Amino acid sequence: MGCAAGLRADDWPQWLGPRRDSVWRETGIVSSFPAGGPPVVWRAAIGSGYSGPAVAQGRVYVLDHVFAKASDTPAHAAAPGGIRGAERVVCLSAGDGKVLWRHEYDCPYTASYPAGPRTTPVVSGGRVYSLGTEGNVLCLEAATGHVVWSRDFKEDYKIKTPTWGFAGNPLLDGGKLICLAAGSNSTVVALDKNTGREIWRALSAKEPGYCSPVIFKAGGVRQLIVWHPEAVNSLDPETGRVYWSLKPSEPARAGMTIPTPRKMGDLLFLTCFYNGSWMLRLDASQPAAATLWQSKRVSEQNTDGLHSVLSTPFLEDGYIYGVCSYGQLRCLNAATGERLWETLAATTADGKEARWGNVFIIKNQDRFFLFNEKGDLIIARLTPEGYEEISRAHVIEPVNRDAGRPVVWSHPAFAGRRMFVRNDQEILCVDLARK
- Domain boundary assignment for the chain: 40-167+293-431
pLDDT at 267: 98
pLDDT along the chain (435 residues), means of 10: 52 98 97 96 97 98 90 54 90 98 96 95 98 98 98 97 96 98 96 98 97 98 98 98 95 95 98 96 98 89 91 97 96 97 91 93 98 97 98 97 93 98 98 95
Contact 280, 287 (CB under 8 A): no
Contact 111, 165 (CB under 8 A): yes
According to DSSP, residue 253 is labeled G
Residue among 227, 311, 258 at smallest CA distance from 22: 311
DSSP secondary structure string, 286-297?
SS-EEEEEE-S-
pLDDT at 403: 87
pLDDT at 80: 56
Beta strand 221-228 with 231-235 is: antiparallel
pLDDT at 3: 37
* Residues 6+ positions from 272 with CB-CB distance below 8 Å: 252, 256, 257, 258, 259, 307, 308, 309
Would you state the torsion angle of the CA atoms of residues 315, 317, 319, 320, taken in this order, to the nearest 10 degrees?
-10
Residue among 100, 66, 102 at smallest CA distance from 84: 66
Q: 266 exposed, middle or buried (CB, 10 Å; 0-12, 13-18, 19+)?
A: middle
Residue among 53, 49, 120, 22 at smallest CA distance from 322: 22
* pTM, two decimal places: 0.95
pLDDT at 223: 98
Contact 432, 420 (CB under 8 A): no
Give buried/exposed letters for 196-227 (b at 16+ CB in 10 A, else e).
Answer: beebbbbbebebbbbbbbbbbebbeebbbbbb
